Amino acid sequence: MIYIGNHISSAGGFAAMGRKAVELGADTFAFFTRNPRGGKAKDIDPKDVNELKTILKDNGFGPLVAHAPYTMNLSSGKDNVREFSVNILKEDLIRMEYLPGNYYNFHPGAHVGQGSETGTEMIVSALNGAMFPEMNTMVLLETMTGKGTEIGGTFEELKKIINGVNEKDHIGVCLDTCHIWDAGYAIDESIDRVLDRFDSIIGLDRLYAIHLNDSKNPCGARKDRHEKLGKGYIGEETIKKVVQHPALQDKPFILETPNDDEGYAAEIDWVRRHMITYNEI
Ligand code: FE
Ligand code: FE
Ligand code: ZN
């Protein structure tokens, strides 16, 4: 069994996200920790958070997958952007402690000018400055397409970051199916082969969450344009195999497909009808 849900707007607060997720048939969801374009985070209302916790418990939710804002770039060559990003990361990880046991996913970064090696060092030092031993959150690096100067378009690049992180018990990966496809990992030919590769480089024990998306472009295109499930180049058959893969069971799957509520509810329902419960064999 997997957990399935979509990205939900945090505009109405925590409990409102939980109610929306239940309404759509989800048992996990993703949300931005603050305005995705950056800016200040709203103060946390403990009553609102507690209400969400009750909703999650009553409805058997799996871990939630919070998403850092897109403006966060820990490997920016511009000092002010990097400092701004490091502060967001620190603040977000403290805020996540209000919802212990969940995941915080972010795009590793783009190195603009200074090269991938320096960029990787910057990401590592930002993580080491923001993560702390008592934390209750799993920090997840997202697999990227590798477009432009994006870091994280290969499993090797993610592994380099993980190697440098001190808090090894709190670092993992969120695998985005559209992104790895666009990066050139041909999951239509063989998911096993791609996951074996992931396992030999990073280790499947570091894989905590899936972003389940189809792609508007062919494998290797490095465009990063998400498509509705089954409507893109990855296609329905491969998406089904991803959902049913034994190595991916028990993880939260997040839809980031171009949909409205009705579309998300339909995709969640489709995934539920095609998932397999392995522990009942
Ligand atoms: Fe993302
Ligand atoms: Fe994603
Ligand atoms: Zn994307």
Q: Consecutive 10-residue runs of the chain (281 residues): their mean pLDDT?
A: 96 97 98 82 93 98 97 94 96 97 98 91 98 98 97 98 98 98 98 98 98 98 98 98 97 98 98 83 45
Task: For residue 45, report the distance from its CA to the centre of ligand 3, in Å.
Answer: 30
Task: For residue 184, report the distance from its CA to the centre of ligand 3, in Å.
Answer: 14
Task: For residue 50, report the distance from its CA to the centre of ligand 3, in Å.
Answer: 31
Which residues have beta carbons under 5 A from ligand 3 (an ion)?
224
Report how far residue 42's alpha carbon sits from residue 49's, in angstroms, rounded to the nearest whole number: 13
Task: For residue 281, report the distance from its CA to the centre of ligand 2, in Å.
Answer: 32
Task: For residue 2, report the distance from its CA to the centre of ligand 2, in Å.
Answer: 17
| Ordered domains of the chain (ranges, CATH) | 3-280 (3.20.20.150)
The contacts of residue 80 (CB under 8 Å, 6+ apart) are none
Report how far residue 207's alpha carbon sits from residue 184's, in angstroms, rounded to the nearest whole number: 19
Q: Which ligand is nearest to the CA of 211?
A: 2
Task: For residue 253, report the distance from its CA to the centre of ligand 3, in Å.
Answer: 14
Task: For residue 160, report the distance from its CA to the centre of ligand 2, in Å.
Answer: 20
Task: For residue 68, report the distance from its CA to the centre of ligand 1, in Å.
Answer: 8
Which residues have beta carbons under 5 A from ligand 1 (an ion)?
142
Tokens representing 71 are: 């403006």
pLDDT on residue 281: 45
Report how far residue 127's alpha carbon sits from residue 164's, in angstroms, rounded to the nearest whole number: 9
Task: For residue 6, report the distance from its CA to the centre of ligand 1, in Å.
Answer: 12
Task: For residue 176, report the distance from its CA to the centre of ligand 2, in Å.
Answer: 5
- Measured CA angle at 272 (ends 268, 278), to 5 deg: 140
The contacts of residue 219 (CB under 8 Å, 6+ apart) are 181, 182, 184, 185, 186, 188, 233
Q: What is the DSSP letter of 224?
A: -
Task: For residue 143, report the distance from its CA to the centre of ligand 1, in Å.
Answer: 8
Task: Give the number of other CB atoms < 10 A from CB of residue 218.
Answer: 12
pLDDT on residue 276: 86
How far is residue 276 CA from its own chain's centroid? 22
List 212's β-bridge partners, or say none.
255
Task: For residue 49, report the distance from its CA to the centre of ligand 2, in Å.
Answer: 25
Q: Which ligand is nearest to the CA of 212?
A: 2
List 142's β-bridge partners, or say none.
174
Task: For residue 281, report the distance from its CA to the centre of ligand 1, in Å.
Answer: 34
pLDDT on residue 36: 73
- Greatest extent of the chain over all pairs of C-alpha atoms, in Å: 54
